[in-house]
Structure 1
Amino acid sequence: MFLTEPRQTPYDLHFNLLNIPVRIHPMFWLVSALMGFAADRTPQMVLLWIVAVFISILVHEMGHAIVIRYFGWQPSVVLYSFGGLAIHNPYVQSQYGPGRARRSKWTQIIISAAGPAAGFLLAGLMLAFLAGTRVASIELEWFEGTNIPRWYTLVPSMGLMSKPNVFVFILDMLFINIWWGLINLLPIWPLDGGKISRELFQMVDGGQAIRNSLMLSLICAIAVAIWAFQAEQRFMPIFFGFMAIQNYQELSGSNRYGGNNLW
């Protein structure tokens, strides 16, 4: 279900960005709004959350799409219920990358990694701008006994504190682009991390690659769903529960053997 392009509707929004067609399914707005509702959020904060999700998911999918185009295919982007898809026709070459349209495991890995990388880049630019303009200061928390940052705290300036909606929007943007990007790199199919892990398995063991990658994906999806349920998350248990079911069905079906992969 997560790799299927939704059907066209009369309410789809269409536009081009960097000469890449973008389509937004109406369910994208509805699901984003449902995810943003909380007891401590005003209607303005919910609206800003929807804007943050739109910008962040669009940047993520454009990261995929731009790299797809670099490798020689003509991409398009669809935003729908639980996120988005960067789609390409393997038989249609892009005018921006003639002669490079050849699939390999490394091209798939690079394309898959480009989405989260685009989000991390956006978050990094935002943090650099906030620190450089002194709109907010950044306090890092470290893993004990290491120089590895565990998390950060954004301390707003007095001017930003007087604009709570703006501050919440900034926090939402950073949360989506950092945390969702990290979650998307988990080795769970069909997240980007799951696509990367499948390609890596195929490099090592082509005969059992899909089966082994699905087993890892199933274990991780179940673990995340249990953790999210215990943490009283609203949507994550459902989201990862669906992926666990999907992985189990694929593992039990015709795709449990072999090393071939679909884009």
Structure 2
Amino acid sequence: MFLTQPNQTPYDLHFSLLNVPVRVHPLFWLVALLMGFNGGDPKTVLLWIVAVFVSILVHEMGHALVIRWYGWSPSVVLYSFGGLAIYTPHLQSNYGPGRSKRNKWTQIIISLAGPGAGFLLAGILIAVCWGTGLASIQVLRFGETMIPSGYMMIRGPNLTNEYILLLISQLLYINIFWGLVNLLPIWPLDGGKISRELFQMADGGMAIRNSLILSIICAIGIAILGFQNERQFIAIFFAFMAIQNYQELSGPNRTGGNPW
């Protein structure tokens, strides 16, 4: 979710997926472990780490493949609380039939591709679960809002392994709930990048300032909602983002322009 990639370490995991270079920083595994640790069955923690890895990789690959379609060469880095799809706009790739179609909506489409890839994965899992009779809808209550966040797995004739059912449930939770959260107009989430591009279209001179003000308001609102509903992680996470955005708003040369 942050905009600068971490330094290389000897413990990075490197591989390529669909001809896109991928690097996994060791902090990615540590943060996923801390988020999933509950003092119970170690297998459930391992499944959580797998679900987080697959989900964030799919999310960043969604960005990366659309970036490549536009004719740039992307790479993916997973670290800390999320990941980055990195590219240099002036460097062309050997792919990209859409590079002649770049326009003012390009960055918005790239930003939407990440959550869109996650929603697609969730849709495939839901179709499989419904088709095999293994799932029924479950929602997460967040205040008075019912947010689709996962599926309650039902043991069926074709699948009774509780760990597989738990993994499916975790994948659905991450890709649906986190995907929706990522579309909030809070910088540097994808929704924040989209809102900044929209402000750029409407009034380029004040785009960054206006997008940061909207971002701060939304982040404070979500933080308050989190505290009210005893979701401390969400509350602290968005309070930190509100502070981060306020510091950027108060910094020099933050009245307008494009950050890229």
Q: Which stretch shifts more, 230-239 or 8-17?
A: 230-239
Matches within 5 A, 1:152-191: 153-159=151-157, 162-191=160-189
Check whether the contact 1:53–1:176 (CA below 8 A) recurs between aligned residues.
yes
C-alpha distance in structure 1 between counterparts of 2:165 and 2:98, whole Å: 46
C-alpha distance in structure 1 between counterparts of 2:213 and 2:257, whole Å: 14
Aligned to 1:124: 123
Are residues 1:79 and 2:71 paired? no
Check whether the contact 1:60–1:116 (CA below 8 A) recurs between aligned residues.
yes
Check whether the contact 1:188–1:194 (CA below 8 A) recurs between aligned residues.
yes
Question: In 2 relative to 1, CA 155–32 (structure 1 residues): closer, same or farther, beyond 3 Å?
Answer: closer
Aligned to 1:28: 28
Unmatched runs of 5 consecutive residues or more in structure 1: 142-148
C-alpha distance in structure 2 between counterparts of 1:56 and 1:260, whole Å: 29
C-alpha distance in structure 1 between counterparts of 2:201 and 2:179, whole Å: 24
Aligned to 1:17: 17
Matches within 5 A, 1:6-155: 6-39=6-39, 41-97=40-96, 100=99, 104-134=103-133, 136-139=134-137, 151=148, 153-155=151-153
- Identity, in percent, stands at 66
CA shift, 1:178, in A, is: 0.2
Check whether the contact 2:132–2:158 (CA below 8 A) recurs between aligned residues.
no
Are residues 1:226 and 2:224 paired? yes
Check whether the contact 2:70–2:101 (CA below 8 A) recurs between aligned residues.
yes
C-alpha distance in structure 2 between counterparts of 1:181 and 1:42, whole Å: 27
Check whether the contact 2:151–2:172 (CA below 8 A) recurs between aligned residues.
no
Aligned to 1:144: none
Question: In 2 relative to 1, CA 137–108 (structure 1 residues): closer, same or farther, beyond 3 Å?
Answer: same
CA shift, 1:113, in A, is: 0.3
Aligned to 1:146: none
C-alpha distance in structure 2 between counterparts of 1:94 and 1:101, whole Å: 13
CA shift, 1:102, in A, is: 7.9
CA shift, 1:159, in A, is: 4.8
Question: In 2 relative to 1, CA 224–117 (structure 1 residues): closer, same or farther, beyond 3 Å?
Answer: same
**TM-score w.r.t. structure 2 length?**
0.90
Aligned to 2:105, the other structure's residue is in SS state helix
Deviations 1:137-189 (A, max 9, x none): 33477xxxxxxx85475341345784222221111100000000000000000
Aligned to 1:105, the other structure's residue is in SS state coil
Deviations 1:205-263 (A, max 9, x none): 1122211111000011111122223333343233222211111011112243123231x
C-alpha distance in structure 1 between counterparts of 2:211 and 2:102, whole Å: 20
Check whether the contact 2:151–2:169 (CA below 8 A) recurs between aligned residues.
no
Are residues 1:192 and 2:152 paired? no
Check whether the contact 1:210–1:258 (CA below 8 A) recurs between aligned residues.
yes
Question: In 2 relative to 1, CA 139–30 (structure 1 residues): closer, same or farther, beyond 3 Å?
Answer: closer
Check whether the contact 2:212–2:249 (CA below 8 A) recurs between aligned residues.
yes
Q: Which stretch shifts more, 193-202 or 236-245?
A: 236-245
C-alpha distance in structure 2 between counterparts of 1:150 and 1:216, whole Å: 22
The one-letter amino acid paired with 2:74 is P
Aligned to 1:165, the other structure's residue is in SS state helix
Unmatched runs of 5 consecutive residues or more in structure 2: 140-145
The one-letter amino acid paired with 2:127 is A
Aligned to 2:73, the other structure's residue is in SS state strand
